[in-house]
Amino acid sequence: MYKDRIKKQRKIFLLFIAILITGTILVIETYAWFIGTSTVQTNEFNITVSSTIGLELSIDADPDHWQANSITINPATIESVFSNNNNKVPTEGLIPLSSNGLIDSTGSGLAFYEKTSLSASYGGYRLISNRINNTMANELDGYFVFDLYIRNGTGQTYNSEFNEGGAEDVYLTPESNAVSVANGNAATTHGVANSLRVGFFEIGRIKADGYSAATARSITCAGGTGITSVCPTTQNLDSRRTYTWNIWEPNHDVHTSELVNYFNRICKKRNNSDGTYTTTACDTLTTTSNVPTYAINSAVGASDNVDIYDGINERTSPKLTQMVTYKTSDATNLTSSKPTLIRLAGNSITKVRVYIWLEGQDVDNYDLISNDASVRINFGLTKDKFVLSNS
């Protein structure tokens, strides 16, 4: 009897342990994607921007602060350049957000959407999302944003009207490095680096000759006397043919084996007609797959029936926009097919608003609990499409 009782108690204990482990796994899988309540604490944000002949850089448009070679941007420099600036350092850490590149024409801020609810579904996660209430004058926490002023000295005549044919192409240099994340938990920092985005948005420009720093800093989407507004205020991706904005996705084809296994196990295709899930797995993801991002373009409610994998799982949704990003492979491309990042008018000073955020709709945005991480970004701007060689 005693031995039977011991065996029974042991079975109950083992069953309890099994239930506890199963419950833990379910909790992890429910909250392991698009984590909007957790943040990535950063103890260092270091950005190096370089330029070539014909382009000068500044973060405050002061006539004495133009740099012809490179500038280093970190929290200390962008917050101290001048009073009442519109720069924002993520003091509370990075929070996964989503954006399709729309600049609000009224507030001159990039439209971001945050997760408000996420529940497990049969083939992914059901998403509810609202837009955050940010403007250029009131940027919120959770992302990094600063103004980069670019002076293009080429050309004697300033064209006050926006004319795509009269502007000069600017590219990312081949030396532009993929984003790297140091420190923190090595198992989770890859999700940070691989889902990071750097957005370049031209807000407006003024004539370089005889300009004032105050006028340059006052540039918004509203324009004004002597200011040409070039804000990308349409959600149509074709608007980038005017090259007033672009979003750089540095690590577009880099995925960890943990993410690959996770995605291939979870994602299921959906019927486009009624949104029901099938038993067919989504197209297999590998560690080098180039996976498009379907970013949020408007508020998502429960009745919209949106899954975070929609697009990838062959289900279309008007709430999501497939993003065509500027990739690091585009920066290293030295052929005639090298894509343009932005375009600048001659003899102009252009205010470019640079946003850095974690794209929640990126397939890599699945595990982001990484405290005290150091994020480093290096990129260069050039007007040279090709690199000359002596050989």
With respect to residue 10, please indicate whether it lies within any of the assigned structural domains. no
pLDDT at position 181: 61
Tokens of 339: 């894509």
What residues contact 161, with CB distance under 8 A and at least 6 apart?
A: 228
Q: 11 pLDDT exceeds 50? A: no
With respect to residue 176, please indicate whether it lies within any of the assigned structural domains. yes
Partner residues linked to 296 by β-bridges = 320
Higher pLDDT pick, 365 / 229: 229
Asked if residue 292 lies in contact with residue 311, where contact means CB atoms within 8 angstroms, the answer is yes
Residue recorded with tokens 């019927």: 271
Residue recorded with tokens 């002597």: 226
Strand locations in 153-226, DSSP E? 167-172, 180-183, 196-207
With respect to residue 132, please indicate whether it lies within any of the assigned structural domains. yes
Q: 94 pLDDT exceeds 80? A: no
With respect to residue 2, please indicate whether it lies within any of the assigned structural domains. no
With respect to residue 21, please indicate whether it lies within any of the assigned structural domains. no
Question: 384, 348, 363: which is closest to 228 by C-alpha?
Answer: 348
User: How many domains would you assign to the chain?
Assistant: 1
Residue recorded with tokens 């999700």: 191
β pairing state of 373-382 and 42-51: parallel
Q: Which domain holds residue 253?
A: 32-382
pLDDT at position 34: 44
pTM of the model: 0.85
Query: Residue type at 41?
Result: Q
With respect to residue 100, please indicate whether it lies within any of the assigned structural domains. yes
pLDDT at position 180: 64
With respect to residue 187, please indicate whether it lies within any of the assigned structural domains. yes
With respect to residue 241, please indicate whether it lies within any of the assigned structural domains. yes
Q: Which helix (H) or strand (E) holds 326?
A: strand 326-327
Q: Cβ of 133: how many Cβ atoms within 10 Å? A: 10
